[in-house]
């Protein structure tokens, strides 16, 4: 019995040390990627190519999800608000929830599972098939040539995707409450515009999504680059990308929200 407890504690300790080690390694890799980003900035064509794969190919899922989330928000918000006779505030509700929270967070979660996992799998497979070693032997740094462009493409596309998600959501809310239910259109927009502040709500939402983009892209490229060069290794890394990014997004969201809305309301 005592033996089992001791081995259990040892296992926990081992895991903690192991993850700390990995975290440090990941941080070093992140710095390395930043330092080697000059190539991708000089040859922006590389980033544009990756923008296609991370950004453009995520468009459909982001737009459709945004529309549905907005429609649900409109429906739920209307149900609750009409009990208090303030159904005209439904525009405010939809817009504020989307711009402040749901837009950046849900878009980032979708982005992690759509583009993040693809980045990890691609880099992991390139490693497993020795493409990265081959690049190194050709005197081309794989971090500068393969990793950095994918990282920057992720960072750039995330705020755009989050903004599109929010716009589609607002449109979805408008569709449900104004077009289907019949809330006054003028009140819907004016209430929204009166209560959504550019600097506090919209700019902060964009800043959030920018941070989420950095987190997802950094995790995705690191997991891919660090993946064991086998089929199981790559599939495990892909799963880890989605899990770790989702946790990172939600954790970061709390921290950023605490910073941004401190002292207000």
What does the binding site for another protein look like in residue numbers (CB under 8 A)? 45, 48-49, 51-52, 55-56, 59, 95, 99, 122, 125-126, 129-131, 133-141, 145, 157, 159-161, 163-164, 166-167, 170, 189, 192-194, 196-202, 205-206, 263-265
Contacts 24+ apart (CB under 8 A), 185-194: 187/88, 187/91, 188/88, 188/90, 188/91, 189/91, 191/88, 191/89, 191/91, 191/92, 192/91, 192/92, 192/94, 192/95, 194/92
Q: Kindly state the tokens that stand for 206.
A: 């964009």
Nearer to another protein, 160 or 225 (CB): 160
Nearer to another protein, 167 or 260 (CB): 167
Output the smallest distance, CB 17 to another protein, in A.
18
Nearer to another protein, 182 or 263 (CB): 263
Nearer to another protein, 192 or 244 (CB): 192
Specify the residue for token string 């711009």: 99
Output the smallest distance, CB 180 to another protein, in A.
20
Q: How far apart are CA 251 and CA 260, in angstroms?
A: 14
Output the smallest distance, CB 39 to another protein, in A.
9
Count the alpha carbons within 13 Å of 163 in the hemisphere toward its beta carbon: 12
Output the smallest distance, CB 54 to another protein, in A.
10
Which of the 8 DSSP states describes residue 28? H
Nearer to another protein, 203 or 255 (CB): 203
Q: Kindly state the tokens that stand for 20.
A: 């700390």
132 Cβ contact list (under 8 Å, min separation 6)? 123, 126, 142, 146, 225
Output the smallest distance, CB 134 to another protein, in A.
4
């Amino acid at each position: 019995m005592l033996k089992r407890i001791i081995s259990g504690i040892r296992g926990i300790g081992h895991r903690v040390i192991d993850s700390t080690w990995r975290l440090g390694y990941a941080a070093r890799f992140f710095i390395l990627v930043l330092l080697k980003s000059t190539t991708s900035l000089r040859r922006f064509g590389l980033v544009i190519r990756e923008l296609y794969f991370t950004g453009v190919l995520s468009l459909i899922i982001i737009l459709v999800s945004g529309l549905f989330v907005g429609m649900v928000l409109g429906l739920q918000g209307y149900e609750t608000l009409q009990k208090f006779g303030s159904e005209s505030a439904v525009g405010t509700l939809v817009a504020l929830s989307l711009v402040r929270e749901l837009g950046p967070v849900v878009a980032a979660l979708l982005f992690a599972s759509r583009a993040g996992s693809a980045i990890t799998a691609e880099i992991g497979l390139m490693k497993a098939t020795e493409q990265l070693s081959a690049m190194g032997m050709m005197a081309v740094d794989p971090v500068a040539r393969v990793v950095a462009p994918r990282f920057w493409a992720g960072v750039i596309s995330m705020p755009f995707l989050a903004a599109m998600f929010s716009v589609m959501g607002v449109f979805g809310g408008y569709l449900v409450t104004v077009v289907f239910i019949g809330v006054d259109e003028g009140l819907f927009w004016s209430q929204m515009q009166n209560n959504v502040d550019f600097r506090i709500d919209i700019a902060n939402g964009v800043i959030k999504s920018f941070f989420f983009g950095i987190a997802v892209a950094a995790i995705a490229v690191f997991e891919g680059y660090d993946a064991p060069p086998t089929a199981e290794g790559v599939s495990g890394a892909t799963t880890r990308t989605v899990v770790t990014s989702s946790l990172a997004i939600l954790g970061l969201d709390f921290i950023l929200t605490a910073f941004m809305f401190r002292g207000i309301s």
